[in-house]
Amino acid sequence: MPNDTQISKFMSLVLRHAPQEAGLVLDENGWTDFTRLCEVIRERFGVSADEVLRIVDECPKKRFTIDENRIRAAQGHSVEVDLELRPSAPPDILFHGTKERFLAAILKEGLTRQARHHVHLSSDIATATKVAERRKGDDVVLKIDAKAMAAGGFLFFLSENGVWLTNAVPPEFLSKIDQEAEA
């Protein structure tokens, strides 16, 4: 029997990056038919639509949004979608979790969106640390002077699940934090 993480990862794949792998089509705002997604998940994993709903509801990161009979990923897409995000005033400080091996390049070039639509930022150190822990290597948490960025004209967006998004973070707005001193 598959576990919730396997199903959630599959949903992230098809709702963020490769809908064609499940025979799905995302509309311009990233929505697809929930019933059809559940059919694909039932065929692939043997779980019911009620189980899919439970996985969505219990997802601690709230990665998915359901509206009537539609579902989409809250953010993190590599396929072109318009999540209809509106600019929001960020908190003064935001955080980004990464790995030590990327630090020199980040401090030189800043944070870039890579293959995603936006750079993902957290409003607290604990969440940024969890993000960093997803990959192997030594964790690093960066502090972003979001107040100065916003004053400089950079736009921020708040996704439905509380992730702060921006197009890029130039290096002058970044600093490495000492996690033990911040704790």
Same domain, 64 and 102: no
Residues 152, 171: Cα–Cα separation, whole Å: 14
Do 125 and 162 share a structural domain? yes
The verdict on 98 and 170 lying in the same domain is yes
Residue-level pLDDT at 179: 56
pLDDT score, position 108: 95
Residue 36 has pLDDT above 70, yes or no: yes
pLDDT digits (tens, 9 = 90+) for 89-104: 999 999 999 999 999 9
Q: Judge if 67 and 98 occupy the same domain.
A: no
Domain that holds residue 64: 4-73
Query: What's the pLDDT score for residue 180?
Result: 53
Q: Angle at Cα 108 formed by Cα 97 and Cα 130, nearest 5°?
A: 5
Q: Which of 7-16, 108-117, 121-130 has the lowest mean pLDDT?
A: 108-117
Highest mean pLDDT among 7-11, 84-88, 113-117: 7-11
- The mean of the pLDDT values for the chain is 90
The band of 137, judged by pLDDT with boundaries at 50, 70 and 90, is: confident
Q: Does residue 31 have a pLDDT over 60?
A: yes
> The domain spanning residue 41 has which CATH number?
1.10.10.970
Q: For residue 151, is pLDDT > 60? A: yes
Whole-number pLDDT of residue 17: 92
In terms of pTM, does the model score above 0.85? no
pLDDT in tens, 154-181: 999 998 888 899 999 999 999 998 755 4
pLDDT of residue 135 exceeding 90:
no
Same domain, 67 and 97: no
Whether 47 and 15 map to the same domain: the answer is yes
pLDDT tier, 182 (very low <50, low <70, confident <90, very high otherwise): low
Assign residue 141 the CATH number of its domain: 3.20.170.30
Task: Flag whether 86 is in a domain.
Answer: no
Q: Residues near 180 by Cβ (< 8 Å), separated by ≥ 6? A: none
Residues 61 and 139 in one domain: no
Number of domains in the chain: 2
3 state SS for 103-167: HHHHHHHCEECCCCCCEEEECCHHHHHHHHCCCCCCEEEEEEEHHHHHHCCCCCEECCCCCEEEC
- Specify if 88 maps to a domain: no
With respect to residue 173, please indicate whether it lies within any of the assigned structural domains.
Answer: yes
Instruction: Determine the Cα–Cα distance for residues 22 and 37; give it in Å rounded to an integer.
Output: 8
